[in-house]
Amino acid sequence: MFTIICLLCCAVFSLPSQATISGFADVESTLSKGKFKEKQRAISWLVSQGHPDARDLLAALLERKVVYDKKALQLWILEGKTARRLADSYIHAEPKSLKLRKVTINNAVRRTINEGIARLELSDTSPEKRLSAVKRLMTKIDASTAHILSEQKENETDNEIKETIELALAIHAVNNLNKHPADKLKADIVLLGASALPQAQQVLKQALPKTSNPELIHAINLSLDQLDQYERLMRGVETLYFGISLGSVLVLAGIGLAITFGVMGVINMAHGELVMLGAYSTYVMQQLLPGQAGLALLLSIPVAFIVSGSVGMLIERTVIRHLYGRPLETLLATFGLSLILQQAVRSVFSPLNRSVSTPEFMSGMLEISPMLSLTWNRLYIIAFCLIVFFSLLLVLKRTALGLQVRAVSQNRAMARAMGVRSERVDIMTFGIGAGVAGIAGVALSQLTNVGPNMGQAYIIDSFMVVVFGGVGNLWGTLVAGLSLGIFNKLLEPWAGAVLAKILVLVFIILFIQKRPKGLFPQRGRMAEG
């Protein structure tokens, strides 16, 4: 009789744990006061129903930000100094007045939460979100998650997601060598070797000391060699990309100098400050158009061209026109002008560096492969450099001004004898060169902070590009800029940034000893003389 009574008491006390969950209110009360097993059932119900608050709640539970009201047994999510009620998204300014307590969970509940998050993300209607979910789970798979992925693989229609799930399951299998047959493991190891995944390298390296099977050891070593070879290839492509992007910046900075130096023979030491003015034009446009970084950047291109071009024309009319044929005096005068422009910017904007926002369309990375991702901002700068180059080339080759510029650059005396107004050509050329320098500043503002001294970092590089490519030759400037950028990035990994620049300078000095007129020497009687 006593035994029967005990059994009845146990049955009565166990009834709440068997109570069905029929709504979100039951989930709230269970997570507030229920036992851990009951909390697992509540979470599973929430996931199975696809409740709109499920993702927020599960993520907050993992971060220990879910609290409950002791009286009403209602759930709240802590958000800084406020608490948000899930059911109606009500924000309470003083959560302390509610006498809230944190919802407690254990490891079993955490596993259920992780499974629930995985199921929610894998069942999303968007293929992009499902693929992202699999990638996030790639190295965080336990037995239950592997079972979920196996089920998802059977129902998945997207081939890319299927292949990613196969890789995730292969990683799980290799991580658990003792729980899978050797034939399957060998196939999974081969699959990982061909995957080009950085995670695969780490998993295979960790698995190597865990097995004594010679076939598996051989397969792992082959896969690691395959992954290492692919990684070296991708690293080389990445270095080439960074070199081209640096070269594009050098081309943009040097192309304006190539025009003025080639046509007028002026050593303009203030060219870097014209680049700086273009960068500050971008900063000012973003201040005038807050929250519209993309529009501000696009408008900055013509604004920077006008601002830097106008300053360049003013410099030519007031200083340089009196110093033609006197290169040393021109160098000293423009160096003084560079100091004046730097101080003027310090007085207006302060000596502190200014940051320029990157538009959304230039943010992020373009993933070529799991081991190679290219930043969008550098890709846009490369494209921008080519657009500026070919636009300038079109102006010089297809317009009357371009014909006059080429005539003056090749033989000024003959051009003047043919009726070309060389003074007008000089000021227009200097204005165009200065304007292009301003456009270069717009591009540089997306790679570095804007400051009064930013132009000094590129003036020497600009002269190196012009001299190496050939004075006054646009194609020479393009080839020289890209070549020096790639050469610099190839040297940096083993020589360091500073020594790489020194080696590039030494290379140019030696090159000029053999070819004083650069890669593409200027043609014409004046050039020959």
Ramachandran assignment for 271, one of left (phi > 0), alpha (psi -120 to 50 degrees), beta (any other): alpha
Question: Model confidence at 36, in pLDDT bands (50, 70, 90)?
Answer: confident
Q: How many CB atoms lie within 10 A of CB 291?
A: 8
Please report the pLDDT score of residue 262 as a whole number. Answer: 67
Please report the pLDDT score of residue 307 as a whole number. Answer: 93
Angle of helix 54-62 relative to helix 36-48, nearest 10 degrees?
Answer: 150
pLDDT digits (tens, 9 = 90+) for 466-522: 888 877 678 888 888 888 888 888 888 777 777 877 887 788 878 777 777 777 766
pLDDT mean across residues, the chain: 80
Whether 346 and 454 have beta carbons less than 8 Å apart is answered as: no
pLDDT at 524 over 50: no
Strand 372-375 versus strand 365-369 pairing type: antiparallel
Please report the pLDDT score of residue 59 as a whole number. Answer: 80
Q: How many CB atoms lie within 10 A of CB 299?
A: 17
Query: Whole-prediction pTM value?
Result: 0.72
Strand 82-85 versus strand 91-92 pairing type: antiparallel
pLDDT at 13 over 50: no
pLDDT at 334 over 50: yes
Q: What is the mean pLDDT of residues 352-370?
A: 83
Question: Model confidence at 402, in pLDDT bands (50, 70, 90)?
Answer: confident
Rounded to an integer, what distance in angstroms lies between the CA atom of residue 124 and that of residue 133? 9
pLDDT digits (tens, 9 = 90+) for 461-475: 888 888 888 776 788
pLDDT digits (tens, 9 = 90+) for 254-278: 888 888 776 677 778 888 889 999 9
Please report the pLDDT score of residue 10 as a whole number. Answer: 40
Amino acid at 358: T
pLDDT digits (tens, 9 = 90+) for 368-398: 887 888 888 889 989 999 998 898 888 888 8
* 3-state DSSP percent of the chain in helix, strand and coil, to 5: 70, 5, 20
Please report the pLDDT score of residue 95 as a whole number. Answer: 60
Residue 129's Cα: distance from chain center in Å? 21
pLDDT digits (tens, 9 = 90+) for 286-319: 888 887 888 888 999 999 999 999 998 998 888 8
Please, which residues have CB within 8 angstroms of residue 243's CB and are 6 or more apart in sequence? 482, 485, 486, 487, 488, 489, 490
Please report the pLDDT score of residue 14 as a whole number. Answer: 38
Domain ranges across the chain: 14-108, 124-211, 233-354+387-524
Amino acid at 263: V
